[in-house]
Structures are given as structure tokens and as C-alpha cells.
Structure 1
Amino acid sequence: MNAKHFQDALKTIPTDAADMLNRELSQLAFNRRVLAQAEDPDMPLLERLRFLCIVSSNLDEFFEVRVASLMAPNRLETPNRLPAALDAALEQASVECHRLVARQYAVLNDEILPQLGKRRIRLLNGKERNEAQRAWVKHYFETEVRPLLTPIGLDPAHPLPQVMNKSLNFIVELSGRDAFGRDNAIAIVKAPRVLPRVIRLPDELADGGIAFCLLSSVIHSHIADLFNEREVVAYSQFRVTRNSDLWVDEEEVKNLRQALVTELMSRPFGFAVRLEVSKNCPPHLVEFLLNQYSVERRHLFAVDGPVNMVRLLEVVNNVKDPELHFPAFLPGLPRRFTDGDIFALLRKNDLLLHHPFESFQPVVEFIRGAARDPNVLAIKQTIYRTGMNSDLMDALVMAAQQGKEVTVVVELMARFDEEANINWAERLERAGAQVVYGVVGLKTHAKLALVLRRENGELRYYAHLGTGNYHPTTTKFYTDFGMLTAHPGLTAEVHEVFNHLTSLNKPRKMDYLWLAPFSLHKNLIGAIHHEAAMAKAGKRGRIIAKMNALLDESVIRALYEASGAGVKIDLIVRGACALRPGVPGLSENIRVRSIVGRFLEHTRIFYFRNGEQHDVYLASADWMNRNLFRRIEVAFPVLDRVLKKRVIVEGLNIYLKDNTDAWELGADGSYRRRKPRDKQLQVRAQRILAEKLGSLNLDKPA
């Protein structure tokens, strides 16, 4: 997505104000930066394929959530034309999506698959398979696939079947008449969900390499076998993307968990927002599908390859050649953590963890140790995303079973994790834990854990506060900070937050924590205004902030004012950013960059110079309206001077020096990748941190 594309887009996309960038285009620009990783010839080959799959997954969610939310009011009420501004926004977003997808499949077909073929790793279609491979595929079809297929010929008694969100299906056109002499020419075949989408052929059929074929290719090759005495005239794979946002009437619902269970059953069948077909799908079959699923033509994608590229992750995960992957990496373990008793350790000093460069294991051991410790009386924790399998959650269950007071605030509305969270909530309740679901209407997104321990006849608090989720997988791939502390002021306020969430009482005024939706926005705006006031007084004003998204207009306008006052502002925004940097008279003192590397940047850090105080806050919240006003979020200060310096150096300064994985945002909305003059001068923040804090094997190329 180059500068000209964005300049053209900005002329057609309405914004709330000329000094704000469009959210949808900015979100798609992030995916263009991810796609650039797949285009990079210096990237390990299978990691390039992984980045292609990530783009597909991101675009799926863009349609399921963002596009669906823009279209939902028009779908839920009497259908009519969209408002002109919204229609224009969707049109330009569609144009950019088509550019992204076209480039994505070009990289797959013209670069990655041929280069994998040279390494004797092949994804074989029907024409490429030799006689022995065809025989094996035919046997696989007859024994594993065909018994699970149910072709449905369409007629008044067999209407178009409801296909699930993002499922693999086939539309088939048949000649002749059916067994009853009728001209029902169209049939639908659903691919079985229980079968793998990528199938590895036996090694003896791989000519000394590794051979795969797609389930879609297996069905393609034998689809004619499903229709006795009728000729298959044309066929195509297709996939329908549907609205996946869950909705419950929070004013009427009496049991949120039960309401969500019911709503989850209908999620796979929300209204359709996108149709993907094979590039050679005949136009009349395309029209049939568009009409049947009420998909707008601009949301039709005819692709040159599998309609679900995400499935190719199975190839990435199935091939173990280290030369085709990133160098092996093991997270480090802080030396202080090996000293033994974690509670004794925290009574001396706070412990800062920088994930994934440092292990998440100390956090797990903090909860696990609390569960085993007879002096621990209570454990309280928030859960937003934790996954189906979690040692940490198992420790909470164990603590409850042992009679400790365990309170868990489970966010049931965490998008795409609702089912896992419902399952954990039920298991925790069976173990005797107190489970609450936060505040109805506000997602609980704060990352907090609190341990109450009896020591010398008194209760003492220990806490973990973080920027990321308590999730065993994402902690290995997302950059986040977490802090374990016994600081009396901080831990007392964490306790106050839990009391607020369970009692629904208004929280008391806090001296350390910024809590959304009460004080976070006010304190954030106040800190920005304070830097502006310092600059106006002739002192040095400085703001550095790192986050996933910057979209809240009130925060952006405060930053514009601070820029005008002379405050130097650096923003590291991974994804969507509505602020225009570098505009004379508006934002000439603001620079915005985005880092896209091996790990997903997820840390939220807010730095304000504040004279010589150098205030540093870590947070669960991005600078978005939803985070500041419609979620329970916490920003917490780093008080220890040594740890504060670590956050500034590791979380901010290194990223501002990155000249390889960094992209700089221009005033027109386009991003330009930084490139060092010489490869010897490369600065890659993530690699530096992996070498410094973890164990990175650089014997293999990155």
C-alpha cells in the first residue's frame, strides 16, 4: 500500500476531521506491513509463509468484526442504502483489501511455493501428482473423505444449506436430470470439519522430500465420483465469512453466562459479509452465491489458491528444517528468581519481567506457589484470555480445592475466547472458587493478580500487574511487561480494584493506579497537558508512548496541543493510528513508528518526562475510546528507579533506534520502512532484546 494509494484513498474516505486518518485504512496498512515480512527474501522461507497466513487471519477478523460492525445496523433494521460516508469508507477499504489479497496470493504462488519446491517441499495439486501419488490420494478419498461427504442437490425440498462461518464448501453445476427427471443443476458439498485441511503424503511418495496436498484438492480431483450418471460441468470451492460479534441484551439478561452459551451456538451463522471463490469459478455460479448469501459484489474475492490460506500454517508447523525457521530462542529467567522463596524475594524488591524475552514461568510459579503455601489465605485474579489449557488456571483450581478463598473475575465477552472462558468459569465454580463476570456492559481487560498471605500475625498483599494476558501461548510470542510487587500502596489499590469489580461499589480515589473508566482518561489527558505546560514555561516537555492502537480523538487532540506547545512526542503504535504526524502547525513535533518483527508487539508504555521525575506507566489499555471509557483497564506506575530505567531502555529507546523492523508514518497516512545504509549497521530491537534477556541461537540466519 504505497503513498499514492493512500493519497487517493484520503480524498475519498470521509473522516470526522481533516486532521484524522481513517481507521479502516490504517488497520489495513498494518496488514500491509505484515505482508512485507512475507515479501522479504532475507526472512526464513517458512516464516514468510507464516506471515502470509497471519495476514489471512487478520483479514478474516477485519471482515468478521470491523466490516460486520459497520454493516450491522443496516442488516438488523429494514435494509436500505448505507449512508454515503459509510458506503465510501467500505468501498475504499474493499479496494485496499483486494490489493492486499492479490499481492498475498502472488507471493505465495510466484515466490514461496516455488522456493519450497526447490527445497523438495511440495504442495501438490491434482495435475502435479504422479501416478503413485494419485493412487494414494484416491484411496484416501475413498476411505477417509467420501464416507463423510453429503452432496445436496438443490430443489424446493433441498434449499441451499446453511454453511458455517469460514468453512470450506463446493458449489457444483451438473448436466442432465436427476433420478426423478428434474433439472436441478446445482449441488453443494460441505467439506468435513473433522478432517485435516493439509494432508502429508507418506514419505515414500515424496521423492526424497516432503509432499502435502490440500483437502480441497483431494475433493476437487474426485468430485465427479459423487454424482452417478451425471456430468460435472463446473465447480468451485467457496468460503463465506460471517458476522462474528456476539450480542446480548445486557439490560434484560439475567444470567450472562447462559445467554452467551446460547449466543455462541448461533455465531457460526451470522449474516454474510464476504464471499471467497476460486479464480476460475464461472460467473453465473458466482452470481448465484452472491445472491443466495446476500454478499455485496465488492466483498467478493476470487483467489488463485486455497480460499483459506490460514490452513497453510499446518505446512509451517509440519516441516522441522531449522534453516527454514527463525533461529531457536529460549526465554531467559531472571537471576533473582532462582533465589528461592518468591515472597521473600518480593519483600526486598519488585520483579520486572519482559516477555517473551524473559519467561512467563515466574508468574505461573507465583500463583502455583500461592496455591501450595499454607500461609496464603486468598488469591484474586482477572482473566481475559487464558486458552483451553493453562497451568496457571489449574493452580487456581487447586487453590480453591484446598480451601483457599479464590476469586476470579472472568471476562466472558473476550472475543473468540468466550467458550474457553465459560469452561474455566464452570470448572472454577465446581472447585469452590468465587467467579464473577466483571461489570455488565464493560469488558474487564485489566491484567491483575493478588495474593493475601498471613505473615507474623498480619495480612500482607502481593500482586502481579501486566500489559498482556495470562495465556500460555501468547506469552511466548507477544511482547509484554509484567511486574510482581509487594509495594503496600500498589497492592492495596489492586485490592481496591477487585473489591470494585465484585461489589460494584465506586472505587476510592487512588494515588498509584489509573483505572478506566474512572480516572485513566482524565489522568492521561492531564499528564499530556502537564508536559505542554512545562514546554510553554520554557522547560523540556517529552512524551514517549507505545501501544497497539491510537484512535481516541480526545487524546489525539491533546497530543496535537502538546506538539504545538513544543513537546517532543514519539509514538510507537503497532496497528491502527488515526493521528497525522509531522503536519506543520498541527503535529510537527510528533513522530509515529510501527515495529513489525518476529514477535507481536503488545506492550503499552506511557512515559512523561515531568521535569526530572521521568514518570513511567505500564498499562492494559490502548489509546482507544473503548479502552478509556468502555472497559475496566489499569495503568500502573513503575516506581523502582532501576526498573523504570529498564522499561525506558528496553521498551522505548531500543525501539526508537530500530532501523530494520521499523516503519515511519507520514502525514498522508502511508508508511515508509526504515533501512540502514549498511547491513552491518542494522538495529533490530527484538533481536537485541532476545540476545540480551534470552538465549538466541544465531548460528542460523534470521
Structure 2
Amino acid sequence: MTQADFLKAPFAEPVDIPGLDISGPARFYNRELSWLGFNWRVLEEAENKRVPLLERVRFVSISATNLDEFYTVRVAGLRELARAGNMTPAQDGLSPTEQLVLINENARRLMDSQQRVFEELRREMASEKIEILTREDVPEEEKPFLLDIFLNQVFPVLSPLAVDPAHPFPFIPNTGFSLALQLERRRDKRMLMALLPIPQQIARFVELPENDGSHRFVPLEELLLLFIDKMFPSYKMMGHCAFRVLRDSDLEVEEESEDLVREFEVALKRRRRGEVVRMKISAGAPEALKSVIMRELHVTPSEIVEIDGMIGIADVKELVLDSRPDLLWPNFTPRVPERVQDHDGDMFAAIKQKDMLLHHPYETFDMVIRFLQQAARDPDVVAIKQTLYRTSKNSPIVEALCEAAEDGKSVTALVELKARFDEAANIRQSRRLERSGAHVVYGFVDWKTHAKISTVVRREGDKLVTYTHYGTGNYHPITARIYTDLSFFTCDAALGRDATKVFNYLSGYIEPEGLENLAISPSGLKQRLLEGFEKEAEHARAGRPASIWAKMNSLIDPEIIDGLYAASQAGVKISLVIRGICGVRPGIKGLSDNIRVKSIVGRFLEHSRIVCFGNGHDLPSKKAKVYISSADWMGRNLNRRIETLIEIENPTVKAQIVSQIMAANMADVAQSWVMRPDGQFDRATWPEGEFAFNCHRFFMEYPSLSGRGSAGAKDVPQLTHTDD
């Protein structure tokens, strides 16, 4: 079976689900359960024998990190609604209390599976000479080495805390991991309870000296227990347990705050003191310790998870060793586009030749950095405007903006302070930009600015030319190595004017009028999508080919889902690639007969947002209408954020998106999961011995169409030929 055969595969026969009211809330699948389903898929990659061993360990860590964040934000919010007696149902009809019951049951099974999978991986790692030792496993001759590590690198950071009437139970911060100890004083048998917070500033795993090529690690908590007498020399340990807490981390910001930056600085301090939403504790913990911890942290039995295994399993990412490349993905170096090389690295010359789309991480994100660095140093550049939602700690993009401002160029930076879990970093970046002389604005108090736009205004002869970058992902050079995203570079005057109007909206509340290409949320982006669905439905009703391809992280907005259902019922063939949350129920007779949904989970994290309309032709087609966007199809993105949707009109870029990127995603089998009408996903299967197309491998092997230089694009494969 070829890739083209997969694209032409018929839609599955729609099914009836007895008792399902397709006109009521049951036509939507629950957001929270859908998210948990995605995390199950991540965990199941840790069991995929085709994935290198240490990459499977990484998948376990990702699954655990994801679940922690889910509890500190989503579950915390539902919990507050339930406690307040709020019975307002979600769009699928479930109340907060009903959702919490289903979430906790599902999440407990997920946590049990994380432990089971990690134990299996631990055995496989041991067979590859990577071992995790308990304190009982440590050979006597190795203990002096560990004692030296303990005394010189751990002990100075420890703060053992007695718990008695003179020493109240201490505050344990979010993700705080501690040992609780029952101690008996040797001289008079007096009992003492103590807590030993495990410092998060120290690596979780201590490596012993290499022995015959082996890597042996001792978890930090085991090291502490091994030398507990060094901290409490007058006491004998009678019992112990480990526990870790997650607290409510959702921020509430006053909408009318006079100083948004100061408000967030205060809110970040509040976050550390949110209520506990989940506590993991060692299975078999002494009852006396457990009861004190529960009472002092105000934790109910339903909020406790007993762990027979490793608490804080997210930390196993430390065991993904660069020194064992044989157990990692094969090395991959992102490409520099040939057209940029043809112009000796001059981004402006490459863009001026024609529009260019880069597909990250296959084409290096360094080109985005180079675009801004070149702008900072070019004497003909007069102005730079940039949105910053998430970026790295020592961001080369912020460096370039500061350099440009210090050189006297007009620099405007829109820094989004409400980027969850990146607020502190963004505050630091904004202070630095201001010191350099840049104009720093924070957009809207009640809407996040999630659009990814950069403009550079350059004097060329007697004209000012605007070079614009529109992206689907963040300006973050580290995540750009593993997130699949699109970077569109153009000097099209209309797209430049549209971008300028958006920046004026963000900095001066001047609502953009007369946008020539761009659609933005919250004012018109959703309507543009709904109109696109209806136009495809009109083609179907007229007997013409009608199809929609779309790709994104999450699809949950009810109006959008109903619009897709209506298009499906009109006969539009709809194929969706949704990495994470999906509220659509595909393949239900009378509701979604012509909708199919898949999720791709593999080496890279799918992140780009794309939608293609057949426009009266079968996809892929040269006549298709093709858009890239910063927005997932969620209520928050379409109704409460500043987002962009750009139509791609350049024929080469359009072909690259439709016949390369989207066709490859549709054709993928090796990393794909197919959604059932009940909201569950099944891993795609293929006959033993047959070729299974892997879109990530395809993109690593073949350059993008629009980035080709003088060699041309003739030898760049497209998965199918376009019609007309």
C-alpha cells in the first residue's frame, strides 16, 4: 500500500450509538477525559518497542509532568466549582462533580500504569547497564563516595524540620517532595516527628562512579535515608514515608489592575500557597505519619494517591543519558533552507525573492533568530515589532530586540504576561527590554495575546518595505527543536499592513479595520472558519467535490464542532489531525458520518495549526484555500485571545502545505491513533511486513518546497500530485 492509497482510503461506515441523543450535549466528547486520553497515548508510546529505550523513559516523564499540570490547573478549577455548589454542566452535559469522579478514576488508573510501565523500563535499562539502586543495593565499598556527595553537595542545602508544639507543621510548596520521619531519641526513647524537604535545586538521581561501562543511580531520597543518622545523630529512625503535594496553580488577576506587571508579581507569590489538590504518599506509610500529614495539609482521603513505586516519576527524565546515543533517537540536524544559502545567509534577500515557509524542526528555527539579528544590525532597518508569548530564558530573540533598541531603532515588544507557567520569565524579559529602550506593551488585561507576529520595516531606496513573519508556534528556540511548527516569511505589502494594524490594536486599542488577508480573534477568525465550512457544504449540495483538512492541538469550541457536523451532514469529507483534546465524535450516523479524526504521537510534538478547504475540488488541490493559524479551535482561542489566521496565496507555499505537510500527516500510519465514535483512540495497525508511512521520517529526509534554492523543487516529493 502506498502513501497515496492511504489518502484515498474510504471513510469508515458510520455507526449508531443506542441511546445517544445527537441533538443534545452528548454530541460533544468531554474535554477533560479527552485530555486524559491524549496522556494515555503519550504513556503508551513508552511501551512502543519501536521507540528507543531512553526515549520511552522520556515519554513516561512527559506523561507524569502533563498529569501534574492537569491537576494543578484543570482539576483545581473543577474542584473549586464543585465546592461552591456550582452545577453548571460542561458542553457535554457533565457537572463539575460528575467530571471529577470520572477524572479521578481515570487518572488513578493512569498513575498505576505509569508505575507499571516504568518498572518494565527499569528492568530493560538494567539489561543495558543503567540501574537505579535502593539504599540496600549500594555496595559497602561505594558508601564513602556517596557520603562525600551527601556531606559536600546535599547536606548544606537540607533543612530538617521538627514537628512539635514549638515547631508548627511547615508550608510545603507546590510540587514539594518531602520525607516524613518517625524518630526515637536514643537516651530516653522520646518520639519525634520530623520532615525533611527534598531540595528541588539538586538533581533527583546521584550517579555512582562508572563501573565496567555501567551507569548506576541512587535516588536522592534513598541517599538521605542512607545517611539519616548524619542529620539526626541522637535518634533512631522508627518509620518513614515520602509524600509530594500538588497545589492549585491557577492565577486570578484583577481585571482592572492599575499595574499589570505588579499584579502578576503578587499573583506568582499567591500561587505557591494554593490549596492542595492531590497528594501522593508512599504505600504502607505509618498511620501516625499519614494522619498528621493529612490533617496539617487539609487533605481528604479522596485527594490521596498511595504509590507503590517512585513518587515524582516526572524526574526520570534525568535518566535520559546523552552518553548512550544507542538508546536515543538517531541524531538529526535541522536543515538550513537552500534559498537562504544561495543568498549567503541574507534573510531579506531570500524573502524578497519570494515568500518562504519553513517547517520546524526540520528547517532550523535559527532562521527566525537570524531574521531578527540581521534586522537589529542592518542600518537600513528603522523599526521592529514583535509578539512574545513564550521564549527561552536567555532568549537570542530578546537579545536581538535589545541590540536593535540600543542602536536607536524603534522597537516595540508585546510581552504576554499571562502565558501560564512562564509569567515570571516574561516579567524579567519585559524589564530587560525596557532598560534597552524598547517600547514594551502588555496587550489586553482580559485577553491573552497568543498571535505569533514579527515585522521589520526596512528602507530600500525611497520606499519602506515591511518584512513579516507569521508563525504557528512560540518564539522559543528550545521548544522549536521538538515542536512541529510553521514559519511564514513574506514581504507582501498587504500582509505587512495587516500585521501593522494588529500591532496598533495591541499597543493603542485601535481596532483594525479593512484587513486585507488576515482574520483575527476574537473579532472575525471564528466567523471566517464557519464561512469556510458553509462554502464547502454548498459545494457538496451542488454535487461538487467538498472536503476539509485541518490540523491542530485541540478542538473543543461548540460552534466550530456544530459547524463541522453541519458540513458533514451536507456531504463534506472532513479529515482532522488533532494531537490532544478533541470534542468531536466522529463517524456517528446522522451526526458525523463524514468526519474522521486521528492523533499523531511520535518523535516530535505536533503543534502547527493548518486548515485546507477543497474549494470545489478534491484535496490535495492547487485550487484549495489554505490557511495557517496561531489558534487552536477552542473557546479561549477564538473568543478570548488575540490570534491570527492567514490565507496562503503563494502557489509554492500552498503546495508545500497541502501536498507535503498535510498529505504526509494524513498518510501517516506508524505514529497514528484513530478516534472512535465513543471518544477513545486505537493505535493504527498495518499488516506484518508491510511499509508503514512515518511522516516525521519523511520530513527529516526531504526538504520543504518553498525553501529550495537554485536547485529548484522538482526533486522534492509531494505525496500526491495536485489536480488542475
TM-score (norm 1): 0.92
Which stretch has the larger CA shift, 120-129 or 82-91? 82-91
Q: State the distance in 1 between where 2:212 and 2:226 align.
A: 21
2:130 pairs with 1:127: no
Q: Read off the aligned partner of 2:46 and give its amino acid letter.
A: A
How far, CA to CA, are the matches of 2:301 and 2:32 in structure 1?
Answer: 19
Instruction: Find out whether 1:105 has 2:108 as its counterpart.
Output: no
SS at match of 1:232: strand
1:34 paired residue number: 42
**CA distance, structure 1, for counterparts of residue 187 and residue 596 of structure 2:** 67
Q: Secondary structure at the match of 2:46?
A: helix
1:174 matched residue in structure 2:
183
| Counterpart residue number, 1:410 | 415
Q: Deviations over 1:600-619 (max 9, x none)?
A: 00010011112253111000
Q: Write the deviation string for residues 289-330 of structure 1: whole angstroms up to 9, x where unpaired.
A: 2332223433322223331112111110x3422210001101
Deviation at 1:210, TM superposition (A): 1.4
Contact 1:331–1:693 under 8 Å retained in 2:
no
User: What's 2:12 paired with?
Assistant: none
**What does 1:408-487 align with in structure 2 at a 5 Å threshold?**
408-487=413-492
- Specify the SS of the correspondent of 1:389: coil
Report deviation, 1:353.
Answer: 0.2
Q: For residue 628 of structure 1, what is the aligned residue in structure 2?
A: 638
The whole-number CA distance in structure 2 between the counterparts of 1:178 and 1:397 is: 64
Aligned with residue 304 of structure 1, among 274, 294, 308: 308
Q: Which of the residues 33, 54, 76 maps onto 1:68?
A: 76
| Residues in 2 aligned to 1:351 and 1:511: alpha-carbon distance in whole angstroms | 20
Distance in 2 separating the partners of 1:283 and 1:687: 53
Cα distance change on mapping 1:178 and 1:89 into 2, 3 Å: farther
**CA distance, structure 1, for counterparts of residue 87 and residue 238 of structure 2:** 37
User: Structure 2: how far apart are the matches of 1:197 and 1:455?
Assistant: 55
1:658 aligned residue (665, 668, 677): 668
CA shift for structure 1 position 458: 1.6
Counterpart among 234, 244, 265 of residue 261 in structure 1: 265
SS in 2 for 1:295: coil
Indicate the residue corresponding to 1:698 in structure 2.
none
- Kept in 2, the 8 Å contact 1:560–1:586? The answer is yes
Aligned residue in 2 for 1:323: 326
* Distance in 2 separating the partners of 1:16 and 1:156: 57
Q: Which residue does the alignment assign to 1:199?
A: 206
Q: Is the 8 A contact 2:81 2:96 kept in 1?
A: no
5+ long unaligned stretches in structure 1: 1-9, 695-702
Letter in 1 for 2:165: P
Deviations 1:659-702, CA, capped at 9 Å, x for gaps: 110000001111011122134411111111111139xxxxxxxx
1:660 and 1:178 map into 2 onto residues whose CA distance is: 65
Return 582-591 or 537-546, whichever deviates more.
537-546
Instruction: Show the counterpart of 2:66.
Output: 58
**Other-structure match for 1:543:** 548
> Aligned AA for 2:201?
V
Percent identical among aligned pairs is: 39
State the Cα deviation string for residues 512-544 of structure 1 (Å, max 9, x = none): 111000000111111111111221122221111
Query: Are the counterparts in 2 of residues 453 and 459 from structure 1 also a CA contact under 8 Å?
Result: yes
Q: Give the equivalent residue in structure 2 for 1:555.
A: 560
Maintained 8 Å contact 1:178/1:184: no
For 1:670-689, what aligned pairs fall within 5 Å after superposition? 670-689=680-699
Aligned to 1:333: 336
User: Which residue pairs with 2:597 in the alignment?
Assistant: 592
Q: Distance in 1 between matches of 2:370 and 2:300?
A: 51
Q: Is the 8 Å Cα contact of residues 216 and 306 (structure 1) preserved in structure 2?
A: no
**Deviations for 1:98-120, whole angstroms, at most 9, x for unmatched residues?**
111111111111x2111111111
Please point out which of 154, 159, 163 is paired with 2:168.
Answer: 159
Following superposition, the deviation at residue 72 of structure 1 comes to: 2.9
**What residue in structure 2 maps to residue 565 of structure 1?**
570
CA distance in 2, matches of 1:465, 1:519: 18
Mean CA deviation greater in 571-580 or 238-247: 238-247
Which residue does the alignment assign to 2:586? Answer: 581
Q: Shift in Å at residue 74 of structure 1?
A: 5.5
User: What are the Cα deviations for residues 424-463 of structure 1, in whole angstroms up to 9, with x where unaligned?
Assistant: 1111100000000011110000000001111121211110
Please identify, of 295-304 and 39-48, the stretch whose mean Cα deviation from structure 2 is larger. 295-304
- Give the equivalent residue in structure 2 for 1:697: none
Once the two structures are TM-superposed, the CA of residue 255 in structure 1 deviates from its matched residue by 0.7
The answer to whether the 8 A contact 2:579-2:601 is kept is yes
Paired residues of 1:387 and 1:417 also in contact (CA < 8 A): no
The answer on 1:290 being equivalent to 2:300 is no
| Correspondence for 1:187 | 194
State the shift of 1:80 in Å: 9.9
Which shifted more, 298-307 or 627-636?
298-307
Structure 2 counterparts to residues 78-117 of structure 1, below 5 A: 85-109=95-119, 111-117=120-126
> Which residue is equivalent to 1:700?
none
Match of 1:150 among 148, 159, 174: 159
Letter in 1 for 2:143: R
Give the residue type in structure 2 aligned to 1:328: N
Greater Cα shift, 295-304 or 659-668:
295-304
Residue in structure 2 matching 1:637, options 637, 644, 647: 647
The worse-fitting range, judged by mean Cα deviation, of 88-97 and 615-624 is 88-97
> What secondary structure sits across from 2:612 in the alignment?
strand
Contact 2:519/2:644 (<8 A) preserved: yes
**1:379 equivalent in alignment to 2:384:** yes
Structure 2 length-normalised TM: 0.90
Equivalent residue number for residue 4 of structure 1: none
Separation (CA, whole Å) in 2 of partners of 1:297 and 1:27 = 25
- Tell me what 2:537 maps to: 532
2:619 maps to 1:609: no
Q: Bigger CA drift: 407-416 or 166-175? A: 166-175
| Cα drift, residue 142 of structure 1 | 3.2
- Secondary structure, in 3 states, of the residue corresponding to 2:95? helix
1:489-528 deviations in whole A, cap 9, x for unaligned?
1111011111111110211132311100000011111111
Alignment partners' CA distance in 1, 2:49 and 2:454: 43
Structure 1 residues 493 and 607: alpha-carbon distance in aligned structure 2, compared to 1, 3 A threshold: same
- Tell me the CA shift for residue 284 of structure 1: 4.3
Offset at 1:156?
Answer: 2.8
* Alpha carbons 2:281, 2:307 under 8 Å: kept: yes
Q: Partner letter of residue 554 of structure 2?
A: A
State the Cα distance separating 1:224 from its structure 2 match. Answer: 4.6
Aligned residue pair count: 675
User: Which consecutive residues of structure 2, in runs of 5 or more, have no partner in the other structure?
Assistant: 1-17, 618-622, 705-724
The aligned amino acid for 1:335 is E
Please say if residues 280 and 305 of structure 2, whose CA atoms lie closer than 8 Å, have aligned partners that are also in contact. Answer: yes
Aligned CA-pair RMSD: 2.3
Structure 1 contact 544–607 (Cα < 8 Å) conserved: yes
Q: Deviations over 1:85-143 (max 9, x none)?
A: 3222111111111111111111111x211111111111111121111123322332233
Report the CA distance between 1:332 and its aligned residue.
1.1
Q: Which moved more, 1:558-567 or 1:501-510?
A: 501-510
